[in-house]
Chain A
Amino acid sequence: MGNEYRIALAGNPNTGKSTLFNALTGLRQHTGNWAGKTVSLAQGSVEYKNKTFQFIDLPGTYSLFSNSKDEEVARNYIVFEKPDVTLVVLDATSLERNFNLALQVLEMTKNVIICINLIDIAEKQGIEIKERLLTNRLGVPVIKISARNKIGFPLLLDTIDRIVTGAIECQPLVLQYPDEIEEKIRQIEPHVRAIVGDHVSARWVALRLLDGDESLLDEINRLITLKGAS
């Protein structure tokens, strides 16, 4: 029997993320609670090459800086629940803002696929996307799809498969900040690593602490208690 893998779907609102989720999973959906939290997220499964991909539809958000409950939910899932792959769905017609979220996800986790959706509409508007170049720049697979017309699904599923089997290794771009910020990250990062270990990206936590993200503290304390207990 195949193994089960969890694939989280993140993205801006109005990018067709839910359309993709519905198109992939069809009627094999249910609402699941996770880790004793009251938040429920839609889940749906797809069978592929003797494996089960369990897709989780995260709330659509503009960023993952925990400015709202939805952002916190999405962020906590990606960082602390550690899905096997995080799929970031972008709107091909407004990539400039959409890349923002993608870059944030790349700071949080390693196994990421960038899914550029609505490619059919973008092409009609004369937008050309060089996905190879973007793959090189970002260090993770970039795939063009149209969730409405089910274009690009075989490649998408195959890419997920190759990530979970280790055939592709993601090397997400490490975004370099101005020197002044990098210096501060360097001061904090070793201390963070001493607390959280390798479970979450110490660089990311350091950045969030500098940014003043207080809501993260509770989550990290919970993580430490969990680890201490096990």
Chain B
Amino acid sequence: MVQPKIIKLVDGEKGNIIKITDLQLDGVMRRRLLDLGFIKGAQVEVVRKSPLGDPIAFRVSQTTIALRKEESSKIEGELISNGE
């Protein structure tokens, strides 16, 4: 068995699919992210980066949501696909 690779959402490359394992955020921001579908076990696809590099758009729960690196660096998950 290959050990699953854990990466932060902010480090994902376009096309990567990441299964969320941990959210290191508190308060309203945590609530907001949970509402949007950034929950443990959810699969998130890295869609694209903004022209200036930040924020990054993610595909989660059938919608596209952009997060700044302040938040996306606090969400971790297993890299389950490189998107070919």
Contact = CB atoms under 8 A, between A and B. Distances in A.
Answer whether A and B touch in the complex at a CB cut-off of 8 Å. Answer: yes
Of the listed residues B28, B31, B35, B62, the one surrounded by the most CB atoms of chain A closer than 10 A to its CB is B35
Interface in A114-151: none
A94 interface: yes
A97 B31 CA distance: 14
B63 interface: yes
A94 to B, nearest CB: 4
Looking at chain B's contact residues, the main secondary structure is helix
B63 A94 contact: yes
A93 B63 CA distance: 9
A183 interface: no
Given A94-B61, A96-B62, 10 more contacts: A62-B32, A62-B36, A63-B35, A65-B35, A67-B31, A67-B32, A97-B36, A97-B61, A97-B62, A100-B35
B35 A96 contact: no
Interface of A: 62-63, 65, 67, 93-97, 100
Contact of A96 (B31, B32, B61): B61
Looking at chain A's contact residues, the main secondary structure is helix
Contacts of B31: 65, 67
8 contacts: A62-B32, A62-B35, A63-B35, A65-B31, A67-B35, A96-B61, A97-B36, A97-B62
Interface of B: 28, 31-32, 35-37, 61-63
B84 to A, nearest CB: 22
A179 to B, nearest CB: 19
Contact of A93 (B32, B37, B62): B62
Contact of B63 (A63, A65, A67, A97): A97
Given A93-B62, A95-B62, A67 B28 contact: yes
B21 to A, nearest CB: 20
A95 B61 CA distance: 8
A65 B36 CA distance: 12
A97 B58 CA distance: 14
A95 B63 CA distance: 9
A63 B28 CA distance: 12
A123 B17 CA distance: 26
Contacts of B36: 62, 97
A95 B37 CA distance: 12
Contacts of B62: 93-97
A97 B28 contact: no
B32 A97 contact: no
Contacts of A62: 32, 35-36
Contacts of A67: 28, 31-32, 35
A18 B63 CA distance: 19
A62 B33 CA distance: 10
B32 to A, nearest CB: 6
A36 B32 CA distance: 29
A62 B63 CA distance: 12
B37 A96 contact: yes
